[in-house]
Amino acid sequence: MNPTAAILIIGNEILSGRTQDINVQFIAKRLADLGIKLEEVRVIPDVPGRIITAVNELRAAYSQLFTTGGIGPTHDDITSECIAAAFGVPWQHHPETFAMMAERMGENFNAARQRMATMPRGARPIANAVSLAPGFSIGNVHVMAGVPRIMQAMFLALEPELPRGVPITMRTVYGMGIFEGAIAAGLTDIQTRYAHVDLGSYPFRREEKGGVAIVAKGTDVPALEAAIAEATDLLAAQGATPVQGEPL
């Protein structure tokens, strides 16, 4: 069984529509490569009770939980102390991080910035090349920045520590000029015969041309390819022009 995961986005700025999230797609793709099955994403506001409840629900339900957002120095950055509360441990200075930041920042290491060196007891910092202040892991929870390039650096630094499974692979065939309704019965038949392949059907339109993307996802690559070969035949039989490969 592949490990499972959830992402918790602590983000008023996503819920207000101010910011377009792009962290989910980055993490989702990396998790697929690592063989970790992403099972849920939640976006919640910067409210302590909401954060604590969601962290405890999701860390119990999945083998790994990744959070993004709320670990900066300002008043609205409350993720770290909420993680401590969720785990029932003190929120305290992390000595190595505190010393490192004090040295690097000198007189600019004010009270606000000292909060970024304050972590739940037992946290393991996630050092990274982009931001001086680290993220951290505690138990199966990985606490990362919301700013995409910092989050990405933290995730890549964290990867060697994560459990792995069989990579989750996708194969796709595009049928141009066809509607889903015309191939639905045939797809159901393919899905039935490849029960352990996750077969999806997605209409698309690019400029004035439209069609259907048939996506096979799973850990058994020969089965994915066999299912896509059958979907390709199904599309061709309906008069569509099948094109295998990456999105057009």
Binding site for a copy of itself (CB under 8 A): 9, 12-22, 24-29, 31-32, 38-46, 72-77, 108, 110-113, 116, 147, 149, 168, 170, 180-185, 187-188, 191, 198-203, 205, 215, 217
**Beta carbon nearer to a copy of itself, 74 or 222:** 74
**Beta carbon nearer to a copy of itself, 82 or 199:** 199
Phi, psi of 165 (to 5 degrees): -135, -165
Q: Which two tokens stand for residue 80?
A: 């770290």
**Beta carbon nearer to a copy of itself, 160 or 195:** 195
**Beta carbon nearer to a copy of itself, 50 or 124:** 50
Minimum CB separation of residue 147 from a copy of itself in Å reads 6
Residues whose CB is less than 8 angstroms from the CB of residue 2 and which lie 6 or more positions away in sequence, other chains included: 35, 36, 37, 165, 166, 168, 219
Q: Are strands 4-10 and 64-68 parallel, antiparallel or unpaired?
A: parallel
**Beta carbon nearer to a copy of itself, 121 or 206:** 206
Minimum CB separation of residue 74 from a copy of itself in Å reads 4
Minimum CB separation of residue 122 from a copy of itself in Å reads 25
Cα maximum dimension of the chain: 72
Beta strands, E only, 71-156: 91-93, 118-120, 124-126, 135-138, 141-144
Minimum CB separation of residue 212 from a copy of itself in Å reads 9
22's enclosing H/E stretch is none
Minimum CB separation of residue 44 from a copy of itself in Å reads 6
Count other Cβ atoms within 10 Å, centred on residue 59: 21
